[in-house]
Structure formats: C-alpha cells, structure tokens
Structure 1
C-alpha cells in the first residue's frame, strides 16, 4: 500500500512540474526596457523625482573567479616612498565585486538647467581562497564623486545631445604607507543618443598632488573612457 501511495505521490509531483513548466514556456517573456539618459539623470520634467533618492550609478557586479597569471606581490611606485619593501603571498585566484550609488542633492540650479549629484563607488579585491592570509582583502578602492549635470536637447551631427557636465573625483585605497594610493581628477562628461543607441564620453584632467603616490598613473589607467549602450 505504501508503494502505491508513493507512486501516486511521485506522479502527482511530476504532473505539477510539467504543468508549471508548460505555463512558463507558453507565457511571453517580460519586455526589457532600457533606460534613456533622461531617465538615468532625470533630465526632462517627466523624469524628475526630487532630491535625496538613492539610485545606482556604475554597474553592480560580483565574481568569485577572477584569475591573474602574475599577481602584483610587491607594489612599486615611481615615488620611492610608496614602494613596498617585502612581498605578500597573494593567490592567483580571488573574488571581486563593485557597489555604486548616486543621489541628487540639488535640483534645477542655474536657471533650472543644472542638477548637483553625489556618488560613491567601491571596488573590492578579496583573497577569499587564500587561507595563508586569513582570506584578507588585497585591495579596497573608495571613489566618492561630486557631479554637476546639465540637461540639453541639441542635435549636432545627427545625434541628440542630452547632457553635459563636470565632476570632482577622488579615488583611494585607504591604506597606510607605503601601500597608500590616491589621486584626484576633474572629469568632464557628455551624453548623446541616436535611435536606440546611447554613448557617454568622459575625459579627465588629473589634479596636481604634492605627495604624488602615482606619478605615472595616467599612463596605466588612461585619460578618458567611453560607454556605449
């Protein structure tokens, strides 16, 4: 009797799974709607949502499988005060994740055309598989930013120019000497749209620093970036 009951229970579960899977297959998948520049930066009056609302800024991601064939065991700098004298037993494998938020703090400045935003991004390099170093964080990069953004509606060269602005950006790993790394820059940005395409261009200028920890950082990180979506 128990075997018969078990068989009927199994058949009932199997039929329920088949029905639910059939429903999922026949139902239409949800439509994915990408955000425009106006929606991301609240440019048009219909998209404005006020101040002090938390929004995403740069992408959120996490990966537990980052691999390097040659991890930097002894960080060096062109400034000898910031060169590490001893090596660290870092693993080739580590986890990495990024968190990033922004919030508008002032709206409709400069005759109703400008908004002031603050942002914070953090990137973590985690030696989660390294028991020798007690699964330490190899690097934590902190990046606060203040941005002044202006909404536009111009059409040069067939593109719809939607936004221009400028920001002050600070990036630091928050460590003590000689592992400390930090720099400041002024970033200019412009956002354009065409049909279903969007491009954001961000060139920057590095600000001088008396205690320069990264004299040649621009040669490695670059002097601009472009995002196409």
Structure 2
C-alpha cells in the first residue's frame, strides 16, 4: 500500500495509473497534482460502484476508495502499475482526494525509508536479476532478450541499449529506428521514471507507456541491470507482458 500511494503521490501531471495485482484484482485511477481524481475501472473488487460513478472523488468517497486500494494492494501479492493518458477529460488538480490525506488515514509515511520498513516486501527471487553465464551475459531464456522472445509476435519491434545485451534488436527497420531515436533523447527521463516506480533505484522493472507509434499499439519499457529494452507491443497485451516479465526474472 505504501508503494502504491508513493507512486500516485509522485504523479504531478494528469495520468492514468492502472494497478494490477498478480492475485487478480486491478484498479485504474486518474491522478494529477498528488491527488486521485477518479476511479475509471475496477476489476475483481467489491463495492467499486460508488467510486466508479463519480466524475470527481470527494471527501465522502475516501473510505470506499481506501477499501479498493486495500483490495488491489493485497499482502504478499506482486503489484504492477501501468501508466497511460488520463482516462477522461479534465486535468483539474483542485478536485479529487489528496494522496497525503489517504496516507494519513492509513498511517503511512509517504517518504520512502529503508528496506526494513515493510515486513511483507516481495521475496528476493521476484526482483533479483537473472543468473549470468560465465561471460557475464544473462542466462539463456532470461534477461531482456528472453523477455522479448517470451512476448513473441505481440512485440512487433524492440531494441536493447546498455549492459551485456546492448545492440540487440528485432523488427521493421523504421520502427527500430524510431525507438532508437526516442531512447537517445529520453533515456534520462525514462530511467528517472523507472526509479520512481520501482521499489528501489536500479531494481528490475517493466512498464507499459501510453505513447504509441502505431494506432492500437503501445510502448513497453523494461530494465534489468544496465540494460534497457524499448519495444512496440501490439494491442492490449497486459497479461502476456506480465507473464513474460516474470519468466525473464525467474
């Protein structure tokens, strides 16, 4: 729950954040200016109707919202967040519920502290980089290249920069060139976003971006060690992406 609120609190510009629990439930929020503006989707969560029907959340909705947050941030369940364009119009930051208020009600410190603060942190094997071979490259089937292979045809173009997997790519030359140009200009911002969303700076992380090169497609970005993968993924491949990512870290 602390990580969920911290990610939301770091989001200043209007964005849609979809939190997906490996236990099944998912919750999509429109957020801006350290506030939760509205709930735009809820799957596998009881009592979501009162929040889903609101154009802007108000103080009377805070208890219902907290129950939804607790439902998706279940103990000992891996939680993923997918960032995209805001779900509905309006980027007002004077409406909605402040993240700081929710944190106070839940007795959560929004300032990130040491790794010992959370007794239900994810097991080490869920976040550790894949084993390396004798030459320092990721083990066969693991790493970012293994992640790309596991996604299969849904990953229509991709490239990797940095680390032992630097220079690997696949897909139409024009699309790979677009990805290379984007990464060349935005790598620092992308790495900063990785660190905002990961449990600790430098941790392996995968996220789906709202930007698209082709209509109906989205951008997947991932980091393991010093290597960064950027790819174009076809349609809504959320389930396939999560499964491939877990396999890459296994």
Higher relative contact order (CA 8 A, sep 6+): 2
In terms of fraction of residues, the more helix-rich structure is: 2
TM-score range, shorter chain: under 0.3
In terms of fraction of residues, the more strand-rich structure is: 1
Give the TM-score of the pair, scaled to structure 1: 0.25
